[in-house]
Amino acid sequence: MPKRDSVRVLLADDELVSSRKLASMVKTWGYEIVVVNDGNAAWEVLRSEESPRLALLDWMMPGLDGPDLCRLLRGRSGPYVYVLLLTSRDGKDDVVVGLEAGADDYVTKPFSPLELRHRLNAGRRIVELQEKVEAQNEEIRSMARRDALTGVLNRGAIFETLGVELTRARRERAPIAVMMADVDHFKRVNDTHGHLAGDQVLRAVAERLGAQLRPYDVLGRYGGEEFLVVLPGCGVSEAEEVAERLREFVAATPIVAEKNAFTITISLGVTSVERVVSDAPEPLIAAADAALYDAKHAGRNRVCTAIEPAQGPLPGDAPRVGAA
């Protein structure tokens, strides 16, 4: 939430003397001012990623005029910019034209500084309220992508992210690795000590896995006690090293849950593609899942690697029932 003295305002006015006076006045009200002297320059500022959220636009300017800028603004995506039109036109038809173009408010020249200040403050309040709503919506979107128990990405989000990373890897001709991790003998924890203990174990395992990954690696809960890890830019040998590090870190110290200390181990299945030719995530997941199955049946608490999978959508996605 921006503070008042950090709010930026774009002023676009080709009358240099009045522009300087107005800029100085707006600064004394606690705003940061960005000044341009024609409509084309104003559009370059407004279309940038760091665009001010408030704009004072003169109606008549070289290049794009105020209504033209409003129409362009309302036709583009991105954060909303609150627009005050500065105009010497005071006819009702002119006012309607400006508002229909997308202006939020207008001030007629010559204007009262007090009136302009209050109208600008009203625009600031609207922008700040919208920023609050945007932040809340982003939080809701983020929560919808997170597993409620562990806080890592949920199944849908990790699948979606893997698809995005596959597209990136194909475009950049970079390798990508996927690993499936499963908590060994997890059913025993639930059966012997209850689901609350099991939940605490899963949260601790997710935290330990995340602590050992790079900022741009992706961790998600695949389901039950299984986790899916996406490692962009990793070949098979690098992925195996990461998997061994994860396995050792999880088992290094007991996990305390419901006043009991559990020595928890994980099994991991790893696969990697050196040259991505398909955006379909199913072949990599299936290969990592098969390698995990091998690790479980070879004694658990180990890493197994699958050969590079044939890429392309699988004809079917029959679920595998692995060892617990």
pLDDT tens digits for range 172-194? 999 999 999 999 999 999 999 99
Tell me if 311 is assigned to some domain. Answer: no
For residue 258, being part of any structural domain is answered with yes
Give the span between the Cα atoms of 281 and 296, in whole angstroms.
23
Tell whether the model's pLDDT for residue 319 goes beyond 50: no
Q: Among the options 50, 165, 225, 282, which is catalytic?
A: 225
Check residue 324 and give its pLDDT. 47
pLDDT digits (tens, 9 = 90+) for 22-45: 999 999 999 999 999 999 999 999
Stated pTM of the model? 0.62
100 noted as active-site residue:
no
User: Tell me, what's the pLDDT at 6?
Assistant: 62
How far, in Å, CA of 185 to CA of 239, rounded?
Answer: 24
In terms of domains, do 162 and 296 share one?
A: yes
Same domain, 138 and 166: no
| Same domain? 178 vs 67 | no
CA distances in angstroms from 64 to 9, 38, 47, 179, listed in the order given: 18, 7, 14, 54
- The domain total for the chain is 2
91 and 39 in a common domain: yes
Is 61 a member of any domain? yes
| CATH number of domain containing 26 | 3.40.50.2300
Q: Is residue 315 situated within a structural domain?
A: no
Rounded Cα distance between 12 and 54, Å, is 11
A 10 A CB-CB count for 9 gives 23
Residues 81 and 208 in one domain: no
CATH number of residue 167's parent domain: 3.30.70.270
- Give me the domain span that covers residue 124: 4-144
Distance CA(228)–CA(241), nearest Å, equals: 16
According to DSSP, residue 285 is labeled: H
Of 47-56, 180-189, 243-252, least confident by mean pLDDT is 47-56
Residues 165 and 195 in one domain: yes
What is the rounded end-to-end Cα distance, in angstroms, of the chain? 47
Confidence of residue 277 (pLDDT cuts 50, 70, 90): confident
Residue with more model confidence, 90 or 250: 250
CA 247/CA 72 separation, integer angstroms: 54
Q: Which residues contact 241 (CB under 8 A, 6 or more apart)?
A: none
Mark whether 55 and 115 lie in a shared domain: yes
d(CA 26, CA 32): 8
Evaluate whether residue 319 is within a structural domain: no
Last residue of a domain, one of 85, 117, 144: 144
The overall average pLDDT reported for the chain is 89
Q: Are residues 48 and 112 in the same domain?
A: yes
Q: Are residues 48 and 104 in the same domain?
A: yes
Question: What does the pLDDT read at residue 136?
Answer: 84
Q: DSSP character for 9?
A: E
